[in-house]
């Protein structure tokens, strides 16, 4: 048997890496609604996936860095099944999202006695630990959403790897005030460890913070702002 694949390695110009969730962070999945989530996972192709406004521009900004040519690596994690891997790769290509390793966290199937996979909280934490230990001399930005446990997992990573997390960006997908309050408390903890946790449903807010911290260029910030402004006038 033979196969082909891609090999990703940071270049010498890279100044930091990005670890990003996919579901409800890059692409709308709706994990809070199991039936709708499964329909989107198994029935929709790459051209039907809804990418959040400003994501391609923001992630391209991460890739290019503040200097515009740094080639910072992006590593993606997903709660989806392995069967959608190629769909995600094609979706990234269609929307000009920088390519990178996609770490599928769980297998789905009847062999576990259920069509649904096991909970992935510890799996995501283990995957992030593996990346940080593999690239032991590189700092990282963490990007996720408020719908699951990303803020809690990322805060734990921040505590376990002090000084290596440059920023935590959380897309706000929850309408629950209690959830917002809980994340606000996590943001206070993150500040105590020298890191900003930014919660917003607008990628302009995340991009503005990233530009202020020297993570992306002003050109990338302007591109995110144009994308969000265009979507609001449609």
pLDDT digits (tens, 9 = 90+) for 178-209: 999 999 999 999 999 999 999 999 999 999 99
How far apart CA 164 and CA 141 sit, in angstroms, is: 9
* pLDDT range class, residue 82, cuts 50, 70, 90: confident
pLDDT of residue 115: 47
Q: Is a pLDDT exceeding 90 seen at residue 62?
A: yes
Over residues 120-130, mean pLDDT = 83
Q: Are 131 and 154 in contact (CB under 8 A)?
A: no
Q: Is a pLDDT exceeding 90 seen at residue 117?
A: no
How far apart CA 170 and CA 145 sit, in angstroms, is: 5
pLDDT of residue 43: 46
Q: Is a pLDDT exceeding 80 seen at residue 72?
A: yes
Q: Is a pLDDT exceeding 50 seen at residue 33?
A: no
pLDDT of residue 39: 46
Token code pair at residue 34? 């199991």
pLDDT of residue 122: 75
Backbone angles phi, psi at 72, to 5 degrees: -65, 135
Q: Is a pLDDT exceeding 70 seen at residue 112?
A: no
Neighbours of 43 (CB within 10 A): 8
* pLDDT range class, residue 86, cuts 50, 70, 90: confident
Q: Are 205 and 171 in contact (CB under 8 A)?
A: no
Over residues 76-98, mean pLDDT = 87
Q: How many CA atoms lie within 13 A of 110 on its CB side?
A: 0
Top-confidence residue, 221 or 121: 221
Over residues 226-231, mean pLDDT = 89
Instruction: Choose the weakest-confidence range: 80-94, 140-154, 215-229.
Output: 80-94
Over residues 84-94, mean pLDDT = 88
* pLDDT range class, residue 49, cuts 50, 70, 90: low
Q: How does DSSP classify residue 175?
A: -
Residues 6+ apart with CB under 8 A from 51: 26, 27, 28, 91, 95, 97
pLDDT of residue 13: 95
Over residues 117-128, mean pLDDT = 73
Over residues 111-135, mean pLDDT = 74
CA nearest neighbour of 183 among 164, 201, 165 = 201
CA nearest neighbour of 101 among 217, 207, 200, 9 = 9
Neighbours of 179 (CB within 10 A): 16
Q: Tell me how far apart the terminal alpha carbons of the chain are, to the nearest angstrom.
A: 50
67 CB-contact burial (10 Å; exposed 0-12 / middle 13-18 / buried 19+) = exposed
């Amino acid at each position: 048997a033979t196969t082909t694949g891609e090999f990703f390695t940071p270049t010498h110009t890279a100044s930091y890496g990005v670890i990003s969730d996919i579901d409800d962070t890059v692409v709308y999945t709706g994990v809070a609604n199991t039936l709708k989530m499964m329909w989107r996972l198994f029935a929709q192709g790459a051209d039907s996936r809804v990418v959040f406004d400003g994501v391609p521009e923001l992630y391209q900004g991460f890739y290019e860095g503040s200097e515009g040519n740094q080639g910072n690596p992006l590593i993606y994690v997903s709660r989806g099944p392995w069967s959608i891997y190629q769909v995600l790769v094609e979706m990234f290509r269609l929307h000009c999202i920088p390519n990178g390793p996609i770490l599928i966290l769980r297998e789905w199937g009847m062999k576990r006695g259920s069509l649904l996979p096991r909970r992935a909280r510890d799996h995501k934490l283990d995957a992030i630990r593996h990346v940080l230990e593999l690239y032991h001399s590189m700092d990282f930005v963490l990007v996720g959403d408020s719908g699951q446990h990303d803020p809690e997992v990322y805060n734990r990573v921040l505590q376990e790897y002090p000084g290596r997390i440059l920023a935590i960006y959380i897309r706000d997908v929850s309408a629950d005030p209690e959830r917002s309050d809980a994340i606000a408390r996590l943001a206070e903890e993150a500040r105590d460890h020298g890191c900003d946790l930014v919660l917003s449903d607008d990628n302009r807010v995340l991009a503005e913070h990233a530009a202020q911290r020297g993570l992306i260029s002003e050109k990338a910030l302007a591109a995110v702002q144009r994308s969000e402004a265009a979507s609001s006038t449609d």
